[in-house]
Amino acid sequence: MDDNAWENIFDWAGAALLNLSFNILHFTFNKKMDFPLPTLTPVEQKKESPEFIRLSAASAMALRLQSGRFTRDFEFGGINILLNYDNGCLSDCAYCGLARTRPGDYEDKSFIRVDWPMYETDLVIDRMVKYEDKMTRLCISMVTHGSAYKDTYEITEKICKNVKTPLSLLVAPPTLNRERLQALKDLGADMIGVGLDAITENLFFDRRTNVPQGGLKWKNYWDVINYSREIYGPWKVNIHTVVGLGETDMEMVDMFYDLKEKQILAYLFCFNPEPDSRMGNYPKSKIKRWRRIQLVKHLIEEYGLERKSIKFNEEENIVGLGIFASKINKVLKTLDGGVPFMTNGCPGENGEPGCTRPYGSYRPSESHRDFPFLPATDDLVLIRQELELEKLVM
């Protein structure tokens, strides 16, 4: 048992002994006194990281810590961890469920509109060991907080000593520098993710800097991205890009090409408004736009689609693909088996989809915006309709 565990036991025992002493005094002397003596209770331990973490509801189900089932049965092994603090994340992004000024207690707030129940870290790691053969990818999500690096370091060290499943870190750039990124890699972290989200500097400023408790810096994020690329290597860094924060299709496409050239992965998310956030009433992207961006991203990354083949209108939205290569035409006819429309996430040990985050972009009652499994035949029929594929292919 480590020193922290012994300290917690001694703290509890001391408080319990003090409580017992006062109750004995209360029983012995209360009859002789005109007022009752107070009864003390042990001070409740703060449920903060690193001793406690939060799990996505799907992760809790996968580790058999919570009952439940998905609308469709599939194998799920991507375990997502979120740091927890009483005062929460100190950033205040306009669209985020964890935003500092969003109403409510931090531990009751959702993140990407998913519940995140809290558990003891050691219990979670024990379950990781028990169900290691079913896990495909682990991820620790940091928040902007003064203790985030220290706690991420401690949790990373514990996980890497006990579990072989590859571990990603979704980092908070304000808490990091080159030395800290290197230290996390030395512990065994496999990949670094950066939630850039807003893909242009102006949009980043509007959504993440110029907000009531803002202050995040575009340059700081790109410094951490570039340091991570140098330290972790090609295709070991990923950037989260969110469709629907105010960007154009052309800006999104330009980002895909830029990241591909840098050998950095682009992970695609669909804006999903969080109730009571400052963008809570902001409309979600239309399904046609979302599907077309998914498809074009896939064609750029996997088939080398040329920039000149993508046609935009005056609003910089994708309206056509001027494609003549037979290979890409074949992909369009089959929609590549549905792969372009699966959830983007870090791979498993053998390159298979590892982190699939079900319900991150849609509610369980809604049709899938991205699929944590290969879409079925009926799904592909619907996707073709949503794409308006015949109008898209020129």
Q: Give the domain CATH number at 274.
A: 3.20.20.70
pLDDT bracket for residue 113 (50, 70, 90)? low
pLDDT of residue 71: 72
Residue 304 is assigned to a structural domain of this protein: no
Please give the helix or strand (H or E) that residue 14 lies within, else none.
helix 3-29
pLDDT bracket for residue 115 (50, 70, 90)? confident
- Expressed as residue numbers, the domain containing 18 is 1-45
Distance CA(60)–CA(53), nearest Å, equals 11
For residue 179, the SS3 value is helix
Residues linked to residue 167 through DSSP beta bridges, in sequence order: 138
- As a whole number, mean pLDDT of residues 13-38 equals 41
30 and 81 fall within a common domain: no
Phi, psi of 222 (to 5 degrees): -75, -30
Residue 334 is assigned to a structural domain of this protein: no
pLDDT bracket for residue 21 (50, 70, 90)? very low
pLDDT bracket for residue 17 (50, 70, 90)? very low
32 and 82 fall within a common domain: no
Residues linked to residue 197 through DSSP beta bridges, in sequence order: 241
Residue 338 is assigned to a structural domain of this protein: no
Among 73-87, 101-115, 322-336, the range scoring the smallest mean pLDDT is: 101-115
Residue 371 is assigned to a structural domain of this protein: no
pLDDT bracket for residue 29 (50, 70, 90)? very low
Among 71-75, 83-87, 126-130, the range scoring the smallest mean pLDDT is: 71-75
221 and 83 fall within a common domain: yes
Quick check: 19 pLDDT over 60? Answer: no
Quick check: 352 pLDDT over 50? Answer: yes
Which of 45, 62, 80 lies at the terminal end of a domain, its last residue? 45
Which of 239, 263, 293 lies at the terminal end of a domain, its last residue? 293
Among 8-12, 42-46, 115-119, 309-313, the range scoring the smallest mean pLDDT is: 8-12
For residue 240, the SS3 value is strand
Distance CA(66)–CA(383), nearest Å, equals 32
Length of the chain: 394
- First CA to last CA distance, the chain: 67
5 and 106 fall within a common domain: no
How many domains does the chain divide into? Answer: 2
Q: Are 300 and 253 in contact (CB under 8 A)?
A: yes
- As a whole number, mean pLDDT of residues 153-166 equals 98
166 and 255 fall within a common domain: yes
User: For the CA atoms of 171, 172, 175, 178, what is the dihedral angle to 10 degrees?
Assistant: 50
102 and 121 fall within a common domain: yes
Residue 249 is assigned to a structural domain of this protein: yes
204 and 269 fall within a common domain: yes
Residue 376 DSSP one-character state: P
- As a whole number, mean pLDDT of residues 14-18 equals 43
3 and 139 fall within a common domain: no
Distance CA(225)–CA(327), nearest Å, equals 33
Greater confidence (124 vs 273) lies with: 124
Cα distances (Å, whole numbers) of residue 338 to 139, 199, 289: 25, 26, 17
Neighbours of 260 (CB within 10 A): 15
pLDDT of residue 45: 65
Distance CA(296)–CA(322), nearest Å, equals 12
- As a whole number, mean pLDDT of residues 26-52 equals 56
pLDDT bracket for residue 363 (50, 70, 90)? confident
Strand arrangement, sheet containing 237-243: 118-120, 52-55, 78-83, 137-141, 167-171, 191-197, 237-243, 265-270
List pLDDT tens digits, range 163-190.
999 999 999 999 999 999 999 999 999 9
147 and 8 fall within a common domain: no
pLDDT bracket for residue 44 (50, 70, 90)? low
pLDDT of residue 68: 84
The first and second tokens of residue 182, run together, are: 């290197």
Residue 385 is assigned to a structural domain of this protein: no
Neighbours of 327 (CB within 10 A): 9
Residue 314 is assigned to a structural domain of this protein: no
3 and 87 fall within a common domain: no
Task: Report, in angstroms and rounded to the nearest whole number, the Rg of the chain calculated over CA atoms.
Answer: 24
Please give the helix or strand (H or E) that residue 53 lies within, else none.
strand 52-55
pLDDT of residue 76: 85
Class of residue 296 by CB neighbours under 10 A (exposed 0-12, middle 13-18, buried 19+): buried
- As a whole number, mean pLDDT of residues 8-29 equals 41
Residue 62 is assigned to a structural domain of this protein: yes
pLDDT of residue 153: 98
69 and 187 fall within a common domain: yes
Which residues, 6 or more positions from 382, have their beta carbon under 8 angstroms from its beta carbon?
A: 367
160 and 223 fall within a common domain: yes
| Average pLDDT of the chain, as a whole number | 88
pLDDT of residue 360: 72
Which residues, 6 or more positions from 374, have their beta carbon under 8 angstroms from its beta carbon?
A: 337, 338, 339, 342
- As a whole number, mean pLDDT of residues 334-354 equals 94
Which of 293, 315, 332 lies at the terminal end of a domain, its last residue? 293
